[in-house]
Structure formats: structure tokens, C-alpha cells
Amino acid sequence: MVEKVKVRIDGEVIAATAGQTILEVARANSKYIPALCHMEGLSATGACRLCVVEVSGVAKLVPACTTPVAEGQSVVTSTPQIESYRKIALELLFAERNHVCAVCVSSGHCELQALAQEHGVTHVRYPYSCPRLPVDTTHPRYVLDHNRCILCGRCVRTCAEIEGAHVWEVAGRGIGSRLVSELQRPWGEATTCTSCGKCVQACPTGAMAEKGWAVEEMTKHKTVVSRLTSMREGS
């Protein structure tokens, strides 16, 4: 027996199913909440904090992608405070690595870039940390550029949950966190990698790309993951 709950999102009363997240319910009802680490078809982690919303009776903002709906809950998806926090989250992502849009294969097709433009991030108010980061070109078909990685974990979850290979993991702590393939082996030497390329398609930025593309040329097939998940659930 599916339990139904009633929630209010931006004032509108919406019928949802218990266990659904605020983000799922909002999107199913055409209420826009931005998100970066979330991808339909994958589990949610609440890493990017772009989907933060206000929930009645809760003092702090909560991520919509990991917060389940509850009976009588009232959610607000956008306030000046929420917008300012989303801007801060975006700016910190830019400050943390070297996102040089002008020389990126994904420029013009990048979710981080698009969200920054959408949120009016004309500049970053924090000093850039300018870390010196490697680019892993050892895989014959794909390239991993740590300069452009935002640690959203979409590749990690795609590989573990969809492909079942679990090549990717995040190692280290805090600002020193890095995406690693197979216990720090170069990607090209990872024996568990099936070269399926779904991680590349799931990556929101130019951190993962197919080889052979120049600036602005790498477009991704973002529906691969959600399509596979929904087809498997349907069978």
C-alpha cells in the first residue's frame, strides 16, 4: 500500500508518495530547483548544495535531493537567502579548481557554466586556490581533467550503480579530495574499467571527455543514465 502525503511547494498543495524526495516531487510538478550532483537514475548524495530549500519548522536550509517529503510539509524553493547560498556554492566550486571556460571542451555545454550564468554569477568573490592538478590521458578513448572536476560524484555513482564496475572513488579529505580510478591506478590501467563511457556522459563539466574534441565541441548524452535506469525498472 503506497502511502500518500500532501505537501505544499511554493504555496501550491501537491499530492506525493511517501519516500519521494522534495526534488523529485518538485520536478514532477514543474517546480524548478537547480541541482548539479543530482542525476535522474542515480542515488542522491546532497554534495553540491545547489538544491537547498526552505522547509517549514526547520531552522536551516536542507538539500531537496536527499530530504523526503512529509505530510503537511511546506517547502519554499527560492528566497533571497536561498539564492545567495546557491551563488556562494557556485562561486566556491569555481574558486576550488581551474575552470578555464575559454579552453574547455565542454564550454557552452557545461552544467556548472550554465548554472553560473543562470544565477547571475558575474564574478567569484573568493580568491582562486589555483591548485596544480594532473590530467589523466592514459585511457585510449577518454580523458580526465582534475582541473575541471567538482567532485559531484556522478561518475562514481554511474560506474557503481549502473555499470556495476565501481572503477571510480573519491579519495582524500576536504580540499584535498580527488577522484581516483581503481585504487589510484591511472585510468588507462584500471582493469575493472569496461570503457563503456557512461561516466563521461554523466559528468556535468569538462572533467571527463572523449578524446579528440576541441574547445566547445564535447556534447554529452545526459539521458543515458536515466534511460537505462527506467528501462531496467520497467522490465
Partner 1 sequence: MDKVKIGTCWLDGCSGCHMSLLDVDESIVAILRKADIVFGPLVDAQEWPEGTDVAIVEGAVSSQDDRELVQTARARSKYLIALGDCAVTGNVPSMRNGIPVRKLLERIYVEGADESAGIPTDGVPPLLRQAEPLRQTVKVDLHVPGCPPRPNAILMVLSELLEGREPDLGSKLRFG
CB of residue 107 to partner 1, shortest distance in Å: 4
Query: How many other CB atoms are found less than 10 A from the CB of residue 187?
Result: 24
Residue numbers 21-80 binding partner 1 by CB under 8 A: none
Site for partner 1 (CB under 8 A): which residue of 67, 73, 77, 113? 113
Question: What is the nearest approach in angstroms of partner 1 to the Cβ of residue 71?
Answer: 40
Report 203-222 residues binding partner 1 (CB under 8 A).
216
Site for partner 1 in 82-101 (CB under 8 A): 94, 98, 100-101
Q: Dig out the grid coordinates for 23 from the structure.
A: 526534488
Separation CA 112–CA 118 (nearest Å): 10
| From candidates 117, 177, 194, 230, binder to partner 1 by CB under 8 A | 117
Sign of CA dihedral 213, 215, 219, 225: positive
C-alpha separations of 57 from 22, 60, 74 in Å: 15, 9, 9
Q: Count Cβ atoms below 10 Å from residue 34 Cβ, excluding itself.
A: 21
The residue from 80, 127, 140, 176 that contacts partner 1 (CB under 8 A) is 127
Q: Rounded CA gap, 100 and 178, in Å?
A: 19
Distance CA 158, CA 135 (A): 21
Residue 73 vs 147, nearer CB to partner 1: 147
Q: How far is the CB of 118 from partner 1 (least distance, A)?
A: 9
Residues lying near partner 1 in the complex (CB under 8 A): 94, 98, 100-104, 107-108, 113, 116-117, 120-124, 127-128, 130-133, 216
